[in-house]
A and B are shown apart, each in its own frame.
Chain A
């Protein structure tokens, strides 16, 4: 029997993978993928919770998360192209000027 806990555990594992990627990735594109993984892990949790609670709100939230993830990619890719035009690379170390 697959219960809500299983889905929440799957969601948490995917979320942890996404967060680990956000912290460790040096390539901007890979970093965006990690953000997507983290956001989509939330969708799994929402839809599972909505199914087990018999309530539609969670599914609606998941739709909004998808929309937000899409618009976030739109802005992110804009920044990515700007960076590639200026620096010729997507390596985050190439733009590290400020510290301290």
Chain B
């Protein structure tokens, strides 16, 4: 390769702009902290402004193209997933303004690490270079382990250590898979790998298959694909509720985008081995996640298993491989963002370090018994999120499920569509169980303060935004489909 003349066009800073803003915001918080210890309100404001600036850059100046010497690739799916990542972060960060003062939100490092994590995941989705994807994945994950451990409880330490060891294994698996693909094709750029494999008719097939399997396993840990889902309920239970909600959205959409880039062409391998591998992984993930969610006693663990199941549901879109299905990934995940973050925020509002209901669980079902008598608004809001997760019209996830199932039918995957329908039906049971507890059972204890111990105005605003978004989502489906459809089609997926 000849040494090219350096030019600023090769850097193409516009593709880097949102991540640069995020990193600079994080560094600004760290520098301010050196000189002056400030209140968490200040840090939350700076973080939100940084995120809003990054989102603005993305929405109004979002350029598509290569940058930073071809390492960055900002295409439609990169923009769409960055919107989801930064949107989820904007909804997450006000949840730090709790009524009860938790230790971790006092530290400036929490906000700096948070911004670095968002930048890491944004880098991960906007590159087709496996080195960059690996670095982005690790930047995001390492910051996330620390954020989990900063919640000062024994359970959080356990969760952080579990997530860390699983993440270490995932990093090793991902790197090993990348190495095998590199040995087979001589490139770490996904588009070059695709060219080499398609033009040579999948030469070195055993190496390619092994590499794909390792990459699927590495990303599967982040996506909580069965059989790599075992950490999910423990980590979600140990982490603070908003962080658990955040974890169920942001690392997963980042991993989905990488999976989409890789497996969009790998599923075409001869004999369909990779196709059936993904098919089985998707079906097992949604079914086993659902069945395990049925038998949980804690609402947080139930939501953890339900998010495993939702990830499996969306994984089917990668199996189908049509543009409609790929658009469905982003539609589903944008709707899932509001629903799941809202549900976890509802748990967060009712959390208190010393007032516990159960030794084992922070949020057992019985805590919510008769909630409609104590706080009708809270019960209705929680019910809206549960109905949306269950896929009952007209709430948000119904449209996502409908769109993905219709994509399955349109692409001729009738068996897959039937399995998806059956799983949606099973899932209704455990979501309605919570609604029955809230509306039809008598309260265990008549104490007005219990459901809003942690509630402050910022938390209620987040909940309100999520509840309104979930209830009125039918107005937004068409514009969202147009936006995501254009972005996905523009990048050729």
Contacts and interface: CB of A to CB of B under 8 A. Distances in A.
Contact of B131 (A19, A41, A61, A86): A61
Contacts of A61: 130-131, 134, 175, 178-179, 182, 188
23 contacts: A8-B183, A15-B176, A22-B165, A38-B172, A39-B171, A41-B172, A53-B183, A53-B186, A58-B182, A61-B134, A64-B134, A68-B134, A71-B138, A72-B168, A75-B145, A75-B146, A79-B164, A83-B157, A83-B161, A95-B157, A97-B155, A98-B233, A100-B296
Contacts of A41: 172, 176
Chief secondary structure at chain A's binding surface: helix
Contacts of B183: 4, 8, 45, 49, 53
B258 to A, nearest CB: 16
Q: How large is the interface on B (under 10, 10 to 19, 20 to 34, 35 or more residues)?
A: 35 or more
B169 A19 contact: yes
Given A53-B183, A79-B149, 5 more contacts: A39-B175, A42-B176, A42-B178, A49-B179, A78-B149
A3 to B, nearest CB: 12
A72 B142 contact: yes
A10 interface: no
Contact of A42 (B138, B164, B172, B237): B172
Interface of B: 130-131, 134-135, 138, 142, 145-146, 149, 154-155, 157-161, 164-165, 168-169, 171-172, 175-176, 178-180, 182-183, 186-188, 233-234, 237-238, 296-297, 301
A88 to B, nearest CB: 13
Contacts of A42: 172, 175-176, 178-179
A82 B164 CA distance: 14
Contact of A15 (B146, B172, B187): B172
B168 A97 contact: no
Contacts of A76: 164, 168
A31 B157 contact: no
Contacts of B176: 11, 15, 38, 41-42, 45
Contacts of B179: 11, 42, 45-46, 49, 58, 61
B135 A78 contact: no
Interface string A62-97: 001100100110011011001100100000100111
A100 to B, nearest CB: 7
Nearest to A55: B186
Leading 8 A-B pairs by shortest Cβ distance: A38-B172, A35-B168, A49-B183, A42-B175, A45-B179, A98-B234, A95-B158, A53-B186
A13 interface: no
Nearest to A96: B158
A98 B158 contact: yes
Which of A18, A46, A71 counts the most B-chain CB atoms under 10 A from its CB? Answer: A46
B65 to A, nearest CB: 22
Contacts of A83: 157, 161
Contacts of B161: 28, 79, 83, 92, 95
A91 B359 CA distance: 23
Contacts of B155: 97-98
B154 A86 contact: yes
B237 to A, nearest CB: 5
Contacts of B158: 95-98
A65 B175 CA distance: 8
A64 B135 CA distance: 8
A65 B165 CA distance: 17
A91 B297 CA distance: 28
A18 B172 contact: yes
A90 B172 CA distance: 23
Contacts of A53: 183, 186
Which of A22, A46, A71, A98 counts the most B-chain CB atoms under 10 A from its CB? Answer: A98
Which of B159, B169, B238 counts the most A-chain CB atoms under 10 A from its CB? Answer: B169
